[in-house]
Chains A and B, each alone.
Chain A
Amino acid sequence: MSKKGNKFTNILRDQSQLIILILLIVIFSITTPSFRTTGNFVNLLKQITVIGVISCGMTIVVITGCLDLSVGSVFSLLNVVSISFQQSNNFLGIFIPLIMAVVIGFLNGFVITKFKVNSIIATLGSLSFYAGAALLYTNGAIIAGVTGTWYGFIGRGKLLGIPIHVYIFFIIAIIYQILLNNTTLGRKIKYVGTNTTAAEIAGIRSNRIRTIAFIISSVSVAIAVLIYSSRMTTGSPVTGAGFEFDAITAVVIGGTSLAGGKGSIFKTIIGVLLLAVIINALTLYNVPYAFQNIVKGFLIIIAIIIDIRVRRRIEG
């Protein structure tokens, strides 16, 4: 039995998000003059780098069949830690958040895999824990950094008119995509997400793979913090609140399945761009900020409904 179907419709279905993105860009460009200025496009790209990097890390976790809701709080924590070192030792300001990220990712992964706990609930607990930790670190205040760190060029520099951090985002995305498609680790991640039992029987230690995925997610947050803190002079302990939902929205509407196994960084970038374009259009139409969450929540639900593989098996 061969269900190849029409090759064209297959491609259409597979790349539907890209097509929607292109369509939206075209529509908005035509209807809203302020949309199609270069300034707007560059602005758009600038906004997506932080969430974009976090979403790349989230993609890896989702492909293994889990979710990491702690990324927002971890961002808050690593951000204030990074900025707190701006005044003294810049190098530590990069190094320590990175180390912390590895430990945090490991802890998340360890608890979830060793005790076979639902990742959403476990990372919900982490979310509270690290959110409180961020507040504790700054004692609830906004801390001051300095202007002109040696790595400030990441946040503020430009190359050929495009900010450096946009390049960094794309480089990170490419690295992750290569990791996913062209390395044995990436292949193991896909196997674990597609069929954990079969992966175990094939000798893959799925617990280790999932833990690595969570570490990648937290490290992505650290990189995002680097991009962010490099252009900030103050740090708020609640900056990252809500980032986890932005990341999940981007991943899910980009087409990566919550059921695990299928997905790509490329799809997530499309998702990030889609989200950004929609939010951008809403802003240009003077839609209040509050409505953005409505749209995001709506998009999450729609994306889940469309993702057939998430559907429960029918009972009876």
Chain B
Amino acid sequence: MKAEKFRNFIIEQKILLIIVAIGIFLWISSDYFLTFQNITNIFQTISFEGMIVIGMAMLIIIGEIDLSVGSIMAFGAVLSVMFQSYGVFTGILAGITGGIVIGLMNGLITTKLKLPSIAVTLGTMVFLNGVVFALTKEHTIKGTNENFVLISQTELFRIPLPVIVFIILLIIFEIILQRSILGRHIFAIGGNATASKFFGLKVDMVRIICFTITGFLAGLAGVMLAGKLNIASGRIGGSTAVFVITAVLLGGISMEGGEGSIFKAFQGILLLGIMNNAMVIMKISSFIQEMIRGLLLILIVVIDAINIQKKRYL
């Protein structure tokens, strides 16, 4: 009986264990790995796209997807750079508002016109990409307000603000997902939208909220990303969608929908962050890194599909 329980525990926590395993490997092979600086670096790197992972997790749980998150992030970054001349706060507000508006648009088109979200957000991605390039006139734009970098360079107890924001968002949204009515409805709709509608759940409204939240988070990520060096360009976010979707799936959330948690999504992106860190320490070229990212997405989506198939003929 004990062996059975142990085995189940390993399967349940496999991602966490992999993270620990890689961590131990890196600790042994590199003096630098377990330093405060390096760990903070890892978190700093993953915190921007990590915010987006929160939204994407909710979308996948409810049975949708958003391919335009990278473009929204770029949009948010560009808007914050453009509007910061009116004040740091205005810049932040501009970026976040841009994200909310696009997210809302994605949600409305998908639900009201009953179109597949993957196709709609594909179109939004291209469209928004064009908007960003148009706004920046294909250059990298630089912000004029030198106070703006405070949002990403400020540190609290030597931890950069983006990391703190990321962790706070993780906690807030996990609580919302697991304990609020909205969160429970997200699971219900993702599990069986027909039954949910039948029992009075506002399916369309919940979907729109999820898209809007994702837009907000992507916009926020863009704002904070711009805050690093106070620059923005259309080249931001090109591989974000792949990265974020991989993180969600890697954490163990199934494309089928109906189950998952923010904590699982966090494990996914932490794993990706550590893997990136490992690849950097091992001096693997960024080109190979991109290849590995692509391969990883394919691998993880295949494993997920196999699991779904297994259940079908019971």
Task: Consider the complex of A and B and state whether they touch directly, i.e. have CB atoms less than 8 Å apart.
Answer: yes
Residues of chain A having any CB pair with chain B under 8 Å: 111, 115-118, 120-122, 124-133, 135-136, 139-140, 245, 248-249, 258, 288-298, 300-301, 304-305, 310-312, 314-316
Q: Which of B114, B137, B294 contacts A125 (CB 8 A)?
A: B294
Size band of the B side of the interface?
Answer: 35 or more
Q: Across the interface, which residues of B come within 8 angstroms of A122, CB to CB?
A: 298, 301
Q: Which of B122, B289, B294, B308 contacts A126 (CB 8 A)?
A: B294
Q: Return A76 CB to nearest CB of chain B, in Å.
A: 12
Q: Across the interface, which residues of A come within 8 angstroms of B295, CB to CB?
A: 125, 129
B314 located at the interface, meaning its Cβ lies under 8 Å from any Cβ of chain A in the complex: no
Q: Across the interface, which residues of B come within 8 angstroms of A311, CB to CB?
A: 113-115
Q: Which of B123, B194, B203, B287 contacts A297 (CB 8 A)?
A: B123
The verdict on A117 contacting B301 (CB below 8 Å), with A290-B137, A316-B197 known, is: yes
Q: Across the interface, which residues of B come within 8 angstroms of A130, CB to CB?
A: 294
Contact B305 A125 (CB under 8 A): no
The verdict on A300 contacting B122 (CB below 8 Å), with A121-B301, A124-B242 known, is: yes
B173 located at the interface, meaning its Cβ lies under 8 Å from any Cβ of chain A in the complex: no
Contact B130 A135 (CB under 8 A): no
Q: Return B309 CB to nearest CB of chain A, in Å.
A: 6
In the docked arrangement, what's the CA distance between A128 and B130, Å?
A: 21
Q: Return B87 CB to nearest CB of chain A, in Å.
A: 27
Q: Which of A125, A135, A139, A297 contacts B125 (CB 8 A)?
A: A297
Contact A125 B115 (CB under 8 A): no
Q: Which of A133, A305, A316 contacts B291 (CB 8 A)?
A: A133
The verdict on A136 contacting B285 (CB below 8 Å), with A293-B133, A297-B126 known, is: yes
Contact A117 B305 (CB under 8 A): yes
Q: Return A237 CB to nearest CB of chain B, in Å.
A: 9
The verdict on A293 contacting B127 (CB below 8 Å), with A111-B298, A117-B301, A128-B291 known, is: yes
In the docked arrangement, what's the CA distance between A127 and B246, Å?
A: 14
In the docked arrangement, what's the CA distance between A54 and B46, Å?
A: 36
B109 located at the interface, meaning its Cβ lies under 8 Å from any Cβ of chain A in the complex: yes
Closest to B199 in A: A316
A121-B297, A290-B137 are known contacts; what are 4 more A-B pairs with Cβ within 8 Å? A128-B297, A133-B291, A139-B287, A292-B130
Q: Across the interface, which residues of A come within 8 angstroms of B118, CB to CB?
A: 118, 120
Chain A CB within 10 Å, residue with most, of B128, B136, B301: B301
Q: Mark B180-223, 1 if CB is under 8 A from A, else 0.
A: 00000000000001100110000100000000000000000000
Residues of chain B having any CB pair with chain A under 8 Å: 67, 109, 113-116, 118-120, 122-131, 133-134, 136-138, 193-194, 197-198, 203, 234, 239, 241-242, 245, 255, 285, 287-298, 301-302, 305-306, 308-309
In the docked arrangement, what's the CA distance between A304 and B124, Å?
A: 12
A/B interface sample: 30 pairs, CB < 8 A: A117-B301, A117-B302, A118-B255, A120-B67, A121-B255, A121-B297, A124-B67, A124-B245, A124-B297, A125-B242, A126-B294, A128-B242, A129-B291, A129-B295, A130-B294, A132-B288, A132-B294, A249-B126, A289-B133, A290-B134, A290-B234, A294-B127, A294-B130, A294-B131, A300-B119, A300-B127, A311-B113, A311-B115, A315-B193, A315-B194
In the docked arrangement, what's the CA distance between A126 and B298, Å?
A: 8
Q: Across the interface, which residues of A come within 8 angstroms of B130, CB to CB?
A: 290-297
Q: 3 closest Cβ contacts across the A-B interface?
A: A297-B127, A293-B130, A128-B294
Q: Return B9 CB to nearest CB of chain A, in Å.
A: 28
The verdict on A136 contacting B127 (CB below 8 Å), with A117-B305, A301-B120 known, is: no
Q: Across the interface, which residues of B come within 8 angstroms of A249, CB to CB?
A: 126
In the docked arrangement, what's the CA distance between A143 and B305, Å?
A: 40
In the docked arrangement, what's the CA distance between A131 and B242, Å?
A: 13
Contact B133 A312 (CB under 8 A): no
The verdict on A128 contacting B119 (CB below 8 Å), with A111-B298, A115-B306, A290-B130 known, is: no
Q: Across the interface, which residues of B come within 8 angstroms of A290, CB to CB?
A: 130, 133-134, 136-138, 234
In the docked arrangement, what's the CA distance between A178 and B296, Å?
A: 38
The verdict on A129 contacting B298 (CB below 8 Å), with A289-B138, A296-B126, A301-B123 known, is: yes
Closest to A298 in B: B127
Q: Across the interface, which residues of A come within 8 angstroms of B134, CB to CB?
A: 288, 290-291, 294
In the docked arrangement, what's the CA distance between A129 and B287, Å?
A: 9
In the docked arrangement, what's the CA distance between A110 and B12, Å?
A: 30
Q: Return A265 CB to nearest CB of chain B, in Å.
A: 22
In the docked arrangement, what's the CA distance between A132 and B118, Å?
A: 24
Q: Across the interface, which residues of B come within 8 angstroms of A128, CB to CB?
A: 239, 242, 290-291, 293-294, 297
The verdict on A132 contacting B126 (CB below 8 Å), with A121-B245, A288-B137 known, is: no
In the docked arrangement, what's the CA distance between A122 and B305, Å?
A: 11
Q: Across the interface, which residues of B come within 8 angstroms of A298, CB to CB?
A: 123, 127
Q: Which of A116, A245, A295 contacts B305 (CB 8 A)?
A: A116
In the docked arrangement, what's the CA distance between A120 and B116, Å?
A: 12
